[in-house]
Structure 1
Amino acid sequence: MRQLLIMLLVCLCAGIPCTLTAGHVALPATEGDALTEVTADPSRGFNFGYLVFVPKSAQSNNYSYLLVEPNNTGRPDDDLDVHRTAAIALARDSSVGNFVAKALGIPLLVPIFPRPSSAEDVYAHSLDRDTVLISEGPMRRLDLQLLAMIKDADQRLAATGHSVSRKVLINGFSASGLFANRFAFLHPEDVAAAAFGGVNGFIMLPVTKLKDRALEFPLGIADIEKITGRAFDRAAYNAIPQFAYMGADDTNDAVLHDDAYSEQERATIFECVGEKMMPDRWNAVAAVYRNENTKVTFKTYPGIPHGTNRTINSEVAEFFRDVMTSADPRQ
């Protein structure tokens, strides 16, 4: 059934106008800010468009970093324009990424990836296993398409006086937080720092097995080489500064839902790190990361449900600011 749904997805996406030569158009934004939509360009490696938000606080002729926040509509829909509208709001108006971009004066890239309702097991906005294993069609390897978007955006930004590092800062919340976490595992050499929150008390673990259970993507790294074609670069991954956070009152547990995790994945998570999301599972995940000598900081915010506030957004911004001031973006 799952393979049938994926094939339906491929047929659906074939109707999406994603064969346009990549051009760009300026979209309305607050005075001083700039929002650009770049159309899809399969010849350059991306079958869907993306957005670049440059806040008025960004200084031209200043070498800096590009912040990436994957889009997260919050629900599936076969209409790509629904996801485009949500991505525009995320990039321009309200998101952790928008807050950070304005606070740090850096550009923000937001992809316009689909999340079709005709193939609900394919939770593209979280980069789940079903998504990563799509072998053909426009949605094949969205992680590689995001890398192609980043490369394309780098060139466009440089042409306007906003040169950025080849390594990105990646951020996300909820499903997009899981996307950010998983992307860092797949491409650690391309990530300067990562922050993610509201992640259901569970993120991908930097181990191949736990309690004698093999942990395949997106539970762990057992089959990363099969997915990417190269061995997992543990040294590169462990060098990435990361900030992972949850609200103590968050009850949004995607582990319980079939679109996010299969029955087998759910059973493995429960067995390895616990069924109770907060604080049990979250604390167990943090312990695994500590044992693997990663540079991931875990934090729990008292009284916070599934969302963020200005305090959290500011701490995410300060986390990225510390990374920016301690590293040379040209390296």
Structure 2
Amino acid sequence: MIRVADLPVAHPGRRLLTKRTPFFAAPGEQRCSYCAYVPTSWTPDAELPVLVAVHGTGRSVGELREGLIPFAERHRVIVVTPLFPVGIDDPDDVHGYKLVDANGIRFDVVLLDILEQVRFRWTARVGKVLLCGHSGGGQFAHRFLYLHPDRVAAVAVGAPGGVTLLDDSLAWPEGITDTRRRFGITVDPTAVARVPVLLVIGGDDDGRADLAAMGDHGRSRPEQLDRLAATLARHGTAVRRVVVPGVGHSAAGTRPPVVEFFSGLLPG
């Protein structure tokens, strides 16, 4: 694998591997992939931080990356956007990645392998990353936090339709009682609490009809977000909850508080 630092400055590979990159197959699961945005200020010795942005059910990865380019340039951050495609081993599976494991794939491990490749190729800092996701991406993001709090510097969760509680009386994905058996990881709420969390939702994003169509007839998206806020706060997490007036179920519409949240944690 080529390290960008090893390419001469005038080599066309430098242009290909900075700014908007192509999609790369994920190293551990090549049915998944990722692309990145590498800011124009990148240099081989920069060791830039990384923001991972996880798509929702619609997999609008290009739009997601584009919306974070100003943030990447302003704060000298590499944006990584994984793609977990529909239909791996089940042609109708659109939700599996949200639960972290499905059809024999550990999507958290897929992301960790992607980050190792990002570290090598761009000399990036991936020990702790910023992590955000909207809707289905928000489901993945908070569950990844539970399983790997040591790899997350801060997380922003937008409008998830389903949440996992820090409740050791409930099985995954409702709770965490069986994570040792399922993932080989015992969730540590104390470690989770060390990571600052933003919860964000549009003021017009009820979602009850959408969730009912998918089999959840009990709660709206605001109610799910409240449940997540309560379980995190109960275990000591510093949680900030933001409602964006006049916005529906929109990743772009709820992006400003996410950018503000992460900007407050970075220099410049």
Bucket of the pairwise TM-score, normalised by the shorter protein: 0.7 to 0.9
Q: TM-score, normalised by structure 2?
A: 0.80
Q: 2:211 aligns with which of 255, 269, 275?
A: 255
Structure 2 match to 1:147:
112
Q: 1:46 aligns with which of 6, 9, 29?
A: 29
Q: Is 1:166 equivalent to 2:122 in the alignment?
A: no
Q: Quote how far apart the aligned CAs of 1:294 are.
A: 1.2
Structure 1 match to 2:175:
220
SS at match of 1:69: strand
Q: Deviations over 1:276-300 (max 9, x none)?
A: 444x454344233322211222222
- Specify whether residues 156 and 120 from structure 1 end up closer, same or farther in structure 2 by C-alpha distance, changes over 3 A only: same
Q: Quote how far apart the aligned CAs of 1:183 are.
A: 1.2
Q: 1:189 aligns with which of 150, 154, 165?
A: 150
Structure 2 match to 1:157:
122
**Contact persistence 1:238–1:295 (CA under 8 A):** yes
**Contact persistence 2:55–2:83 (CA under 8 A):** yes
Structure 2 match to 1:33:
19
Q: Quote how far apart the aligned CAs of 1:193 are.
A: 1.0
Question: Which structure shows the bigger proportion of residues in strand conformation?
Answer: 2
1-structure distance, mates of 2:159, 2:69: 17
Structure 1 match to 2:266:
324
2-structure distance, mates of 1:181, 1:27: 34
Q: Quote how far apart the aligned CAs of 1:231 are.
A: 1.5
**Contact persistence 1:66–1:165 (CA under 8 A):** yes
Sequence identity percentage: 25
2-structure distance, mates of 1:317, 1:58: 20
**Contact persistence 2:26–2:110 (CA under 8 A):** no
Q: Deviations over 1:73-132 (max 9, x none)?
A: 61xxxxxxxx6xx434432x3x3x44532342211111232112954345135x22xx61
The one-letter code matched in structure 1 to 2:112 is L
Q: Is 1:104 equivalent to 2:75 in the alignment?
A: yes
- Specify whether residues 226 and 99 from structure 1 end up closer, same or farther in structure 2 by C-alpha distance, changes over 3 A only: farther
**Contact persistence 2:202–2:245 (CA under 8 A):** yes
2-structure distance, mates of 1:245, 1:111: 21
Q: 2:138 aligns with which of 143, 163, 177?
A: 177
Q: TM-score, normalised by structure 1?
A: 0.66
**Contact persistence 1:59–1:105 (CA under 8 A):** no
SS at match of 2:71: helix
- Specify whether residues 102 and 197 from structure 1 end up closer, same or farther in structure 2 by C-alpha distance, changes over 3 A only: farther
Structure 2 match to 1:289:
232
- Specify whether residues 38 and 256 from structure 1 end up closer, same or farther in structure 2 by C-alpha distance, changes over 3 A only: same
Structure 1 match to 2:197:
242
2-structure distance, mates of 1:282, 1:37: 32
The one-letter code matched in structure 2 to 1:108 is V
SS at match of 1:169: strand
Q: Quote how far apart the aligned CAs of 1:46 are.
A: 3.3
- Specify whether residues 316 and 116 from structure 1 end up closer, same or farther in structure 2 by C-alpha distance, changes over 3 A only: same
2-structure distance, mates of 1:165, 1:40: 16
Q: Quote how far apart the aligned CAs of 1:205 are.
A: 1.8
Question: Which structure shows the bigger proportion of residues in helix conformation?
Answer: 1
C-alpha root-mean-square deviation of aligned residues, in Å? 3.2
Which structure 2 segments of 5+ residues have no match?
A: 5-11
Q: Is 1:304 equivalent to 2:247 in the alignment?
A: yes
- Specify whether residues 189 and 257 from structure 1 end up closer, same or farther in structure 2 by C-alpha distance, changes over 3 A only: farther
- Specify whether residues 40 and 306 from structure 1 end up closer, same or farther in structure 2 by C-alpha distance, changes over 3 A only: closer
1-structure distance, mates of 2:251, 2:54: 17
Structure 1 match to 2:61:
87
Runs of 4 or more above 4 Å deviation? 21-29, 57-60
- Specify whether residues 306 and 63 from structure 1 end up closer, same or farther in structure 2 by C-alpha distance, changes over 3 A only: same
Q: Quote how far apart the aligned CAs of 1:195 are.
A: 0.7
Structure 2 match to 1:13:
none
Q: Deviations over 1:16-70 (max 9, x none)?
A: xxxxx899996999xx8342432343xxx23233212112255663343111112
Q: Deviations over 1:162-208 (max 9, x none)?
A: x31411111111111221121111211111111121223x5322222
**Contact persistence 2:157–2:200 (CA under 8 A):** yes
The one-letter code matched in structure 1 to 2:103 is I
Which structure 1 segments of 5+ residues have no match?
A: 1-20, 75-82, 326-331
